[in-house]
Amino acid sequence: MLAFIIRRLAQSVLVMLVVALIAFAVFRYVGDPIASMVGVDTRLADQEIMRERLGLNDPVVVQFLRFIGNALQGEFGISYRLQQPVTELILSRLPATIELAFASAMIALIFGVGLGVFTALKPRSPASALVMALSLIGVSLPTFLIGIGLIYIFSVELGWLPSFGRGQVVDLGWWRTGLLTESGLKSLILPAITLSLFQLTLIMRLVRSEMLEVLRTEYIRFARARGLSQRAINFGHALKNTLVPVITITGLQLGSVIAFAIVTETVFQWPGVGSLFINSVQVVDVPVMAAYLMFIALVFVVINLIVDILYYVVDPRLRVGG
Amino acid sequence: MADPILSVRDLTVEFPTRHGILTALSGVSFDIMPGEVLGVVGESGAGKSMTGSAVIGLIDRPGRIAKGEIHLQGERIDNLPEERMRGVRGKRIGMIFQDPLTSLNPLYRISEQIVETIRTHLPLSKEAARAKAVGLLDRVGIPDAARRIDDYPHQFSGGMRQRVVIALALCAEPDLVIADEPTTALDVSVQAQIIDVMKELCAETGAAIMLITHDMGVIAETADRVAVMYAGRIAEIGPVRAVIKDAKHPYSAGLMGAIPRMSADLERLVQIPGAMPRLSAIPPGCPFNPRCPHVFDRCLTHRPAASEIEPGRRVACWLYPGVQEA
Ligand SMILES: Nc1ncnc2c1ncn2[C@@H]1O[C@H](COP(=O)(O)OP(=O)(O)OP(=O)(O)O)[C@@H](O)[C@H]1O
Ligand SMILES: [Mg+2]
């Protein structure tokens, strides 16, 4: 187990180094950092002094190592646009994105697994057919269209739910949460559903096909032949075997939920890191872009690692020393 | 004579398909007495497994029992509601499948799978069920059962796994065990041991066995009676010694030629030429007629039913007087 974790950690570090290289390249070579930082009226000589002071004339390798050193300390420079430390900016936007991603992941997981199991156990029922048809729409419609559609129905026509923003937030010192106020919760519903739909259909279809597969196996037949109850067979024996691949996909999807939040955050003007990134791209705020890249990579790497460990916990066959 | 534990009458199983109805079993009738071992042999696709599935009520969709009755200890079970049937499976009829590699759920410990099964059928506490499970594993020959019981299936060899499967099939002390090729997937060196363990345990509890196998040698050593199946029908059924020594049906005679014997009687080592017809292409008359060395005109037009020609022996072949039409 330990060797396995160490090996996976080493791989994760390698991945992060590669992403860091890309982020560094973006940071260093997209546009001219000095030109972005100072006004056009600054004299060339002064620009040169700044360049020297910021170490932009050092060999590339030295600059890259310095970039990594800074990144390790959570130091990504100052946003050109907002004149604030990038790390501070991202951290202040992070709670909004995490709450949104978490809420939609929960929706996707609960409804995805539930509907997947239902459609697998009752493949002939009309409800299953309806769910499957709807799920096709879920995967094929682009996120922003779904978001706009939901806004039109529930905000514009029915006026039940707010169409943008995060509602009232409560400051817990290190975390600004929207989960403790009614307007915060109401504001979360539409964006969370929008963001969850794609993953929900994906998980549902995965659970369904896995479950159908598992229900055909010999050990399910043997469980039936032993007279176990339908519930024990479906939810004990079959579902647990379905979960191994589901955990993997869901875990990876959680990473993409955070990454895809960009679109949803833009549609709903949700003040998270995704909309921060979009706003930064528009003005080529390179430090923010580089940091965002690193952040998303870190999310994927960490989630991957957790998924691998979970996998290991669920499936005894992967454990060594048997 | 005592009442049979299992009585199958005129069992017919059909599969509706796009191209019409396939009849997987047709007019299958047989009895199994308490404590008796009935061997079931026949080529691949003859309907051996289907007969076992029908008895335990687990025919795959869209297959269904179209005709006939199955009685267990006098009670009709082929039309029981699912809920009641669940109380029959495991509790009164135990089932052992061919491949122990795939019969056990890979994600659960052996202890969990046995305790779950015991507690489904017997009113025992977790601890009592576990103690019973350890005893049972010990009985089927798992060394160090008290410790190994908490292992996962993949930690056992094929032979050991099949012992676990036997323990699972027998844990609620059923009166009948259906063993569908219990040793086919195993190493030749352990096959005899597995059959012995199974037979011994069943003899202890008085359970009858329906032993499905390709191996005539196993039948010769283990079974009391044997049913020879062909194309979804019983071709011949009778006491094992009699059928081996003096097979009546030309198909059984061919099969019996496959038993290895010390004094190899060359004349008996006949191969049966040809192959069993597909279900969709069973010829009119006797289904064996294209391959039969003794075929005559009646065989091509009239289908024989397995009929009693001597006390305790039934044959479906026009060579014998008194055979009825199906
Ligand atoms: N789901 C199904 N749909 C249609 N036909 C089926 C189905 N399952 C089995 N059959 C047919 O029923 C017949 C009997 O099959 P069965 O599995 O009982 O054969 P068997 O004697 O056990 O053969 P084997 O020795 O290969 O196990 C076969 O011809 C098979 O093609
Ligand atoms: Mg079979």
User: Hey, are the CB atoms on A228 and B108 less than 8 Å from each other?
Assistant: no
Q: Give the residue from A93, A72, A62 showing the smallest Cα distance to A271.
A: A93
pLDDT at B269 over 70: no
Top-confidence residue, A50 or A160 = A160
For A185-196, write each residue's pLDDT tens digit. 888 888 999 888
Residue range B205-231: mean pLDDT, rounded:
93
SS3 A215: helix
The residue-averaged pLDDT of B116-142 equals 95
The pLDDT of residue A221 is above 50? yes
* Across B137-153, average pLDDT: 94
Whether residue B30 has its Cβ less than 6 Å from ligand 1: no
Helical (H) or strand (E) element with B135: helix B126-139
Give pLDDT, residue B233. Answer: 96
Give the CATH number for residue A145: 1.10.3720.10
* Ligand nearest, relative to CA of residue B42: 1
Say if residues B229 and B287 touch (Cβ distance below 8 Å).
Answer: no
Q: Does A62 map to a domain? A: no
Which of B92, B113, B103 is closest to A232 using CA atoms? B113
Number of domains forming the structure of chain A = 1
**What integer pLDDT is reported at residue A320 of this predicted model?**
56
Look at residue B26 and tell me whether its pLDDT is greater than 90.
yes
CA-CA distances (angstroms) from residue A285 to A28, A273, A294, A307? 12, 14, 15, 33
Q: What is the pLDDT of residues B41-85, one digit of tens each?
A: 998 999 999 999 999 999 998 999 999 999 999 999 999 999 999
Torsion angle of the four alpha carbons B193, B132, B54, B75, in this order, in degrees rounded to the nearest 10: 130
The closest residue, in CA terms, to atom 31 on ligand 1 is: B45
- Domain annotation covers residue A161: yes
Residue A114's pLDDT is what?
93
Residue A82 lies in a domain: no
**What is the side-by-side order of every strand in the sheet holding B233-239?**
B93-96, B176-180, B208-212, B37-41, B225-230, B233-239, B313-315, B307-310
Determine what percent of chain B is predicted with pLDDT higher than 90: 79
The reply to whether A259 falls in a domain is: yes
H helices present in A122-160, as ranges: 126-140, 143-150
CB A274 within 8 A of CB A261: yes
Q: For the segment A78-98, what is each residue's pLDDT rounded down to a tens digit?
A: 887 888 888 888 888 888 898
Residue B215 has pLDDT above 60, yes or no: yes
Q: How confident is the model at residue A313 (pLDDT cuts 50, 70, 90)?
A: confident
Whether B88 and A228 lie within 8 Å, measured CB to CB: no
Cβ contact, residue pair A218, B168, below 8 Å: no
pLDDT of residue A36: 67
Overall pTM > 0.90? no
Band (B272; pLDDT cuts 50, 70, 90): confident
Q: What is the 3-state secondary structure (H, E, C) of A231-289?
A: HHHHHHHHHHHHHHHHHHHHHHHHHHHHHHHHHHHHHCCCCCHHHHHHHHHHCCCHHHH
A308 within some domain: no
Q: Which helix (H) or strand (E) holds A82?
A: none
Residue A321 has pLDDT above 50, yes or no: no
Question: B14, B17, B44, B50: which to mutate for ligand 1, most atoms within 8 A of CB?
Answer: B50
Q: What is the pLDDT of residue A12?
A: 87
**Contacting residues for B72 by C-beta, under 8 A, at least 6 apart:** B5, B6, B7, B88, B92, B93, B175, B176
Cβ–ligand 1 contact at B46 (below 6 Å): yes
Tell me, yes or no, if B89 comes closer than 8 A to chain A by beta carbon: yes
CA atoms within 13 A of residue B307's CA, in its CB half-sphere? 14
pLDDT of A40: 65
CA separation for the pair A148, A269 (Å, rounded): 12
Contact A146, A194 (CB under 8 A): yes
pLDDT of residue A85: 87
**Separation of CA B98 and ligand 2 centre (Å):** 8
Does residue A230 form part of some domain? yes
- Compare A173 and B296 and report the one with higher pLDDT: B296
In a domain, A130, yes or no: yes
Note the pLDDT tens digit of each residue in B147-198.
Answer: 999 999 999 999 999 999 999 999 999 999 999 999 888 888 888 889 999 9
Say yes or no to pLDDT of B268 above 60.
Answer: no
pLDDT over 70 (residue A39): no
Asked whether A166 and A270 are in contact (CB, 8 A), the reply is yes
Residue A206 belongs to domain spanning? 91-284
User: For residue A243, what pLDDT band results from cuts at 50, 70 and 90?
Assistant: confident
Q: Is the CB of B233 under 6 A from ligand 1?
A: no
pLDDT of residue B260: 52
Task: Report the Cα A81 to chain-centroid distance in Å.
Answer: 25
Residue at token pair 């509601």 = B81
Q: Is residue A196 part of a domain?
A: yes
Q: Does residue A167 carry a pLDDT above 80?
A: no
- What is d(CA A270, CA A177) in angstroms, rounded to the nearest whole number? 13
The mean pLDDT of chain A is: 84
The ipTM (two decimal places) reads 0.89
With CA atoms as reference, the chain A residue closest to B103 would be: A219
Residue B29 has φ and ψ, to the nearest 5°, of -135, 135
Across the range B91-114, mean pLDDT stands at 92
Q: Report the candidate in B98, B100, B117 with the shortest Cα–Cα distance to residue B168.
A: B117
pLDDT at A155 over 70: yes
Distance A221 CA to ligand 1 centre (A): 16
